[in-house]
């Protein structure tokens, strides 16, 4: 029986520790091909490259693991497009996984996340997909405690399938003295970043701005990704790319237009 084909991408770049952890886990389950950005692409959202050239080169980043890998000059969404239509043009991945991101992509962050945009792009292309993120922004973050949960979720996705046009947004708690309690299927919390822009001067006395801010959770529900993570659970949120606000259609149909 042929092993499942698993495509791996991310937004932190092909040399990031998080993607190496994800590749090592995926390699235990199936045949792995990596197509990832050649450098950091965090916060790119679902950007694609239109006005510039796209470059795709073989990478030795996972040569020690015997993994076929490519680095791309574009965004995470570009990586998935090139993987499907070029690298794997004669083969269909059984699963696309993205990450493991250095930092949370829970609640509203899913909209800005390059990690999740790679997964969403796969879903747009009709491929089952999962984005994995660790709630630790440090480059030296410890991913060791995540491996059993990443493996569990990948195996379950391959066994049971992921609903069509859906990508799973999986966030994993930061390593602590307490073990992770388990996995919860959640909804996206109503939470957002309260941003501020710090006005500064550069060495040539030219004005520039530096975005700062704080995260505000307005949601007190115990069925959200934010609640799960605060309480040391892995959160799994099914996401869709249809952004139609169906509940608003009746109101708009009352307009005189």
CA distance 124 to 79: 14
Residue 6 tokens, joined: 């698993």
CA distance 124 to 52: 23
Q: Do the annotations mark residue 11 as ligand-binding?
A: yes
The residues near 64 (Cβ < 8 Å, ≥ 6 apart) are: none
User: What's the distance, CA 8 to chain centroid?
Assistant: 11
Q: Do the annotations mark residue 176 as ligand-binding?
A: no
Integer Rg of the chain from CA: 19
Which is nearest to 72 in space by CA: 139, 5, 167, 8? 8
Which is nearest to 168 in space by CA: 179, 180, 183? 183
Which residues fall in the annotated binding site? 11-12, 42, 101
Which residues fall in the annotated binding site for a divalent metal cation? 11-12, 42, 101
């Amino acid at each position: 029986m042929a092993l499942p084909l698993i495509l791996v991408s991310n937004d932190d770049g092909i040399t990031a520790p998080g993607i190496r952890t994800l590749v090592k886990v995926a390699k235990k389950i199936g045949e792995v091909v990596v197509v990832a950005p050649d450098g950091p692409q965090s916060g790119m959202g679902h950007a694609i490259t239109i006005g510039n050239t796209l470059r795709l080169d073989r990478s030795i980043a996972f040569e020690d693991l015997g993994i076929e890998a490519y680095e791309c000059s574009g965004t995470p969404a570009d990586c998935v497009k090139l993987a499907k239509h070029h690298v794997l043009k004669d083969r269909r991945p059984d699963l696309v996984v993205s990450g493991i991101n250095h930092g949370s992509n829970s609640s509203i962050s899913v909209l800005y996340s390059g990690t999740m945009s790679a997964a969403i792009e796969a879903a747009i292309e009709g491929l089952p997909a999962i984005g994995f993120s660790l709630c630790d922004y440090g480059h030296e973050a410890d991913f060791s405690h995540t491996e059993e949960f990443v493996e569990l979720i990948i195996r379950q996705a391959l066994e049971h399938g992921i609903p069509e046009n859906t990508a799973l947004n999986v966030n994993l708690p930061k390593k602590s003295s307490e073990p992770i309690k388990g996995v919860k299927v959640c909804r996206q919390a109503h939470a957002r970043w309260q941003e501020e822009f710090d006005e500064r001067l550069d060495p040539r006395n030219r004005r520039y701005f530096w975005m700062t801010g704080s995260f505000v959770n307005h949601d007190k529900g115990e069925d959200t990704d934010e609640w799960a993570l605060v309480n040391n659970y892995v959160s799994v949120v099914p996401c869709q790319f249809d952004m139609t606000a169906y509940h608003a259609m009746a109101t708009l149909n009352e307009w005189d237009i």
